[in-house]
Amino acid sequence: MGAVLWLLASLLIIVALLAALVWQMGARSQNPRKLANADEPDVDTQWQSLSFMSNGSKLEGWLLHPAAPNTDLKNGQIPLIVVAHGWGSNRTRVLRYTRPLYEAGFAVFMYDARSHGNSDSISAPSALMFRDDVRAAIETAKQLPGIDPDRIAVLGHSLGGFGALLALDQGVQVRAVVTDSMPVRFETMMKSELRRKKLPLFPLAYLIPMIWLIRARISRAEFREASIPLVLSRHAGSSEEGRTPVMMIHSNGDDFISAEDLRELKEQLPKGMIDTLFVSTKGHSTSEQEPAFWEKVIPFLQEKVVNASPKKEACGTGLQATRENI
């Protein structure tokens, strides 16, 4: 009897130690590397630093002014593109998108999400954090002097694109959303990260997401609602129908997030609900290097943002930005 009790106690201790180890792994994996930004953006156009708030945290960003502003809009106001980076990245790393945008006449607003770059950190970052930070950036952009609050779009890389689409379900109003190399399913993100760190998918791919949800205080119901196919079915489509035009781009050579996710999504959704483009560059952060990327993105933004018919909407939520450098 004593031996059995000893064995049970030993097993309980082992299980407790394993549970503690997995919890620690989950907590560590929920803290992205924080990469410092360059002191100044490497651009050949005017720019300024901006600070704004998201859920009580201070976020840092840059506003790049267009090389040749579109002045044919109402009151000479300029259209703007919000650029959102992905997990473990920062605004410096998405400067690669900016030159074609500001040369096409768009202002560009880029920022560090919470727990990234020079922005404040939180204890449990999540995909929903990216959603809320995109939303705060959009509302801040709508209040910037000289910016047309009715002609704003988002270009999001990876989890930045994921957050931009989720923001549509929160009532965010933008003219268009472009995603690049975006994971369609949460499971894809988790499995890709585990493979990159050479950790076993089973049982970590099932246990760690549970830890993330608990630490971020995200309910199962809220998690289920954060479904990209569901969000797109509600909001993506033609602006003439009161929906938001969405273009999704992925590289067939992406070795981190497979392009198969987007192919499956395209087949799942009604024809014409989203625009898609598949390029052939290698890596997770290289799509924009293929000429076809900008050959499709710039005309899409010109049509959906610059040339779109005016619409009525309430702009701004009282967020305030501070200008520091120009």
DSSP secondary structure string for all residues of 125-165: --HHHHHHHHHHHHHHHTTSTTEEEEEEEEEEETHHHHHHH
pLDDT of residue 117: 97
pLDDT of residue 206: 79
CA separation for the pair 122, 108 (Å, rounded): 26
- Compute the residue count for the chain: 326
| Cα diameter, the chain | 87
pLDDT of residue 1: 64
245 prior amide bond cis, ω within 30: no
pLDDT of residue 310: 65
3-class state of residue 116 by DSSP: coil
Mean pLDDT per segment of 10 residues, for the chain of length 326 residues? 77 77 78 90 96 98 88 76 97 98 97 98 94 98 96 97 97 97 86 74 80 88 91 95 96 94 95 97 97 98 88 42 39
Residues 6+ apart with CB under 8 A from 218: 126, 128, 212
Cα 13 from chain centroid (whole Å)? 41
pLDDT of residue 19: 73
pLDDT of residue 27: 77
Joined together, the tokens standing for residue 283 give: 């890596």
DSSP 60: E
pLDDT digits (tens, 9 = 90+) for 188-244: 877 777 777 677 777 887 788 888 888 899 998 998 889 999 999 999 999 989 999
- pTM of this structure: 0.89
Joined together, the tokens standing for residue 221 give: 């119901």
DSSP 91: T
pLDDT of residue 99: 97
pLDDT of residue 74: 59
Ordered structural domains, the chain, with CATH: 41-307 (3.40.50.1820)
pLDDT of residue 136: 98
CA separation for the pair 213, 59 (Å, rounded): 23
